[in-house]
Amino acid sequence: MSRATRPIYLDHAATTRVDPRVVEAMLPYFTEVYGNASSVHTFGRDAHDALEQARRSAAGLLEADPEEIIFTSCGTESDNLAIRGVANASRGKGNHLITSSIEHHAVTHTCEQLAKHFGFEVTYLPVDSYGRVDPDDVGRAINSRTVLISVMYANNEVGTIQPIAEIGKIAREKGIPFHTDAVQAGGTLSLDVDALNVDLLALSAHKLYGPKGVGLLYRRRGTPILPTQTGGGHEHGLRAGTENVPYIIGLARALELAYERCESNNARIASLRDRLVSGVLAAIPQTQLTGHPHDRLPNNASFLFDGVEGESILLNLDLLGIGASSGSACTSGSVEPSHVLTALGLPAAQCHGSLRLTLGNDNTVEDVDYVLSVLPGIVSKLRAMSPLYSEPPAKGH
């Protein structure tokens, strides 16, 4: 198997390259408009004006008011601020949180810490075999002490899209704040916060061709929140710290560009994804697609291969110039199965054979076809070396 003629990046769910147009928009704010946005002199006012224009731009894409946008350092901070902020602000009302069993660790680890150290109770909702939450389960989990519901918009591993608007409707009828981690959905799915019925929504720039190190939290006016980072009165007093103006400009520009071409881009990338999925399933036996077959992110193709380790597939792909990822996570020095895949009801041993291929703006039909030309051979070679793999019985026997 020969190496790809150019590197093929298929890990866009992990991060994306920064769009040159985003870099161009950011550059003046490093060397020309460099004032502190909180300063009252001209240098500061110029930076402040740029900051507020970025806030208005981001708010417009979310159909929100600019005052409802809080700029943060990343999606993880946005999730933390939403969950901890609402939980701590609502202690007088209750101590019960509801989330799903397939959330990003930015959500699950925050909930776990609140439970372990601060007396909160957490209900982790199950998902079906596709990784989808049943809105009726949300309704059944609510009690008189529930102060927050948090369910992600789309899953980072298997790409399944959740019925966010339905869940949000239930939360609104009960008067409970509803948070969604929309980090993976940003740039591809609608972010209309009213249509989604969300009160808090987290985004990160680096998932949509913006810079690493900046994100935002939408917080509906009136939603109780206690700042987790204190200091000056930045971001309406909800997130202290000098604003990172160049990166905020980059976030706003990346959002603008993503939604300028969203519909056509989604269609093109979904076509590549479908070509990849059908090709892998046709060429490699004892392989299954994980996540929902249709209600999934347009760029996500995630698989399980019987009898092989996902990490071994990754290493072999990397040697051929292909960047991808696996659903397995390294924890405490040992490889553990993905909590997302086990929540889907898949056996732990099978979960180790996961592979996630996530397409992006630069990928082509030729990229997909090259992967399809080499992946079957990689899996076959690894299965031949594995004592855990057995060939399926021949047809007719």
> Active-site residue numbers?
330
User: What residues contact residue 18 under an 8 Å CB cut-off, 6+ apart?
Assistant: 206, 209, 210, 211, 250, 254
Cα distance between residue 187 and residue 348, in whole Å:
33
- Name the amino acid, one letter, at 181: D
For 72, the enclosing helix (H) or strand (E) is strand 69-72
Nearest-10 crossing angle of helices 262-283, 365-385: 30
Tally of CB atoms within 10 A around 345: 11
8 Å CB contact between 1 and 315: no
Please spell the DSSP secondary structure of 328-360, one letter per residue: -EEETTEEE--HHHHHTT--HHHHTTEEEEE--
Cα distance between residue 83 and residue 81, in whole Å:
6
Cα distance between residue 308 and residue 351, in whole Å:
10
Cα distance between residue 177 and residue 174, in whole Å:
9
Cα distance between residue 178 and residue 220, in whole Å:
10
Cα distance between residue 39 and residue 277, in whole Å:
53
Alpha carbon distance, N-terminus to C-terminus of the chain = 33
Cα distance between residue 100 and residue 180, in whole Å:
11
Please, what is the Cα angle at 169 between 166 and 174, to 5 degrees?
135
Return the DSSP state at 161: B
Cα distance between residue 188 and residue 50, in whole Å:
26
Closest CA to 148 of 108, 109, 114, 179: 179
Cα distance between residue 179 and residue 197, in whole Å:
10
